Amino acid sequence: MIQLDDIDKQLLKLLGEDSTITVKELAVKVNLSTSPVFERIKKLEAGGYIKKYIALIDAEKLGYGLIVFCNIKLKQHDKSVGTQFVTDIMRLEEVIECYNISGDYDFLLKVYARDMKHYQDFVFNKLGSVQSIGSTHSTFVMCVNKDIHNISL
């Protein structure tokens, strides 16, 4: 694990805001030349601080206007049931995030659907086929107020 200094943190923040920024632009913003900035970025990537670079897609523009948080309780709590649940969930394209959580539920899913009918079909025909699920509870998003995908350093 590398020790991050202020410049490393600044680079992470800038890349978290816009991963298409060039090394030259980053160098100007952190007051270094391009070579050390390039080397720092490679070090941050190798150290696992930067997992990958992605494009954030506007799901609504693609017709997926319904966001649902689906809480899941498993039928039983043992390693094989949990492992099988995760394997099954990874195959469902509507599920874009899956978290193992504590509290009243075991997992929290973030699901994108075109509309309520699509979500109903997903629940009955896809989620309903996952044998390890004991119960579900859906919460529908009315408005996204904050969605930054970045960590404050």
DSSP-assigned letters across all residues of 75-111: SS-SHHHHHHHHHHHHT-TTEEEEEE--SS-SEEEEE
For residue 124, pLDDT over 90 is answered with yes
The pLDDT assigned to 151 comes to: 85
Q: What single DSSP character describes residue 124? A: I
The pLDDT assigned to 104 comes to: 96
What is the rounded average pLDDT for all residues in the chain? 95
Query: How do beta strands 133-140 and 107-113 pair?
Result: unpaired
What the chain holds in terms of domains, given with CATH numbers, is 6-46 (1.10.10.10), 60-140 (3.30.70.920)
The pLDDT assigned to 35 comes to: 97
**Residues 70, 136 contacting (CB under 8 angstroms):** yes
What percentage of the chain has pLDDT greater than the value 70? 100
Amino acid symbol at 94:
E
Residue-wise pLDDT tens digits, 23-64: 999 999 999 999 999 999 999 999 999 999 999 999 999 999
For residue 1, pLDDT over 90 is answered with no
Q: What is the pTM of this model?
A: 0.87
